[in-house]
Amino acid sequence: MKRKKSRWPLRTSHRPQGRGSSVTTQRALDGIVVLDLSQVYNGPYCTTLLAQLGAEIIKIEPFGGEPVRWRVVDEQQTAAFDLLNGGKKSLRLNLKDAEGRALFLRLVERADIVVENFSPGTLARLSLDYDVLAEVNERIILASGRGYGARTPQAAHRAMDLTIQAMTGVMATTGQPDQPPTKAGPAIADFFGGTHLMAAITAALYQRTVTGRGQHVEVAMQDAVVPSLTSSIAGYLDSKATLPERTGNRHSGLAVCPYNVYPTSDGWVAILCMNDAHWKSLCGLMARADLADDPAFGSPPARVARMDELDEIVGAWTATTTRDDVVERLQQLRVPCAPVLGLSDLMHGPLVGSGAMIQPVRDEAGRESYVLGTPLRLAASPPVPAAPAPALGAHTEEVLRDRLGLDTADLARLRDRKVV
């Protein structure tokens, strides 16, 4: 079938403003329409980032909603869903129905991006793979979040964050040396994958301004996680595979010391000395000039060689005072350090609030929830106001009426047929 020509002109870039210009109210991705088929964490975080730059996100869900909506308590929207779907529109659509697929393709004609992280082969089984989408809109960008790289033996396997951590060495390098492999606390594979997928999308959007055509972009969580193992891989290579894989709270490549979590009288504190200046400042604070002047501790390799001894010395000093006192005194000397905070500290601290990374919102019914803020700060692209996550199918009629011109009778018939 011959591809249809685009009905839209190429978007032209805006001229950069002069230094004295006032900041525009236009956001970086204003006017970009995203059809979001994704679920759980990987894809939804990608589309959250796009939304925070101004893109309109139409979240297309099956009749039961995506899995994260109800996985804790039936009929009660979960906090995880709220956090990752603030400000999106929800369209309930049966893609297994021929008419449902036809409606989706009509939406594709008027969209810029489709995001999905289904298991391998799902889009093809739905007859909605890239070639089909590009037939109706040559400018469409299909963004696929995958588990494993296309050229790996596991390419066709189903994947979740836990399995990716297992397959990439993350679990093998997490935990104490004498304990079993441990998964990282945060869902790093899902979120690293989602962040990299967003980067691929923005690159494809830019390339489209030159070529006039979209493309299929893919990011495997497996690939996105591997660079974060740089210290561990470097330690493996530099030591000729003699270092332990799991180093606990110590540096992954055992190349920096002090580098650990140390006890205080009321908690824990993380301290690291990346250079000799940090080390000497710490020695001065501990009143241990003898250590600062001792050639046996005079270089990073020398300190690493006596790591157990140094960790005992530093820990004995931190244990004599409070966590906040240790942090304040080290910060004054510009030594990298931080208190070890729990989730309660996080939720009652400066990262929660209006304009922060976790923002409280209230929907029209008065239900309170939290949504994620943006880590992306663009001086000329103001942040999108926080808004609650949508109820399942809350925008179905709005989207189909406004975008496809369906009337009340059409919508009633589609509901009766359980297409929407």
What residues act catalytically?
190
Q: How far apart are the first and last CA of the chain?
A: 29
Q: What phi and psi, each to the nearest 5 degrees, are found at residue 78? A: -80, 155
SS3 call for 130: helix
Give the strand pairing for 358-362 and 368-372: antiparallel
DSSP string, 81-122: HHHH-TT-EEEE--TTSHHHHHHHHHHHHT-SEEEE-PSTTH
Q: Which of 343, 324, 330 is nearest to 271 (CA)?
A: 330
Any residues with CB less than 8 A from the CB of 268 and at least 6 apart, and which? 261, 262, 323, 339, 340
Tell me the β-bridge partners of 243: none
Q: Which of 166, 114, 179 is nearest to 145 (CA)?
A: 114
DSSP assignment letter at 333: T
Any residues with CB less than 8 A from the CB of 150 and at least 6 apart, and which? 218, 220
Say which residue the tokens 């009652």 belong to.
348
Does the N-terminal peptide bond of residue 258 adopt cis geometry, omega within 30 degrees of 0? yes
Say which residue the tokens 């189903």 belong to.
158
SS3 call for 297: helix
Encoding tokens for residue 354? Answer: 């209006």
What b/e sequence results for 201-212 when a residue is b if at least 16 CB atoms lie within 10 Å of its CB, and e otherwise?
bbebbeebeeee
Q: E-strand spans in 23-88?
A: 33-36, 56-61
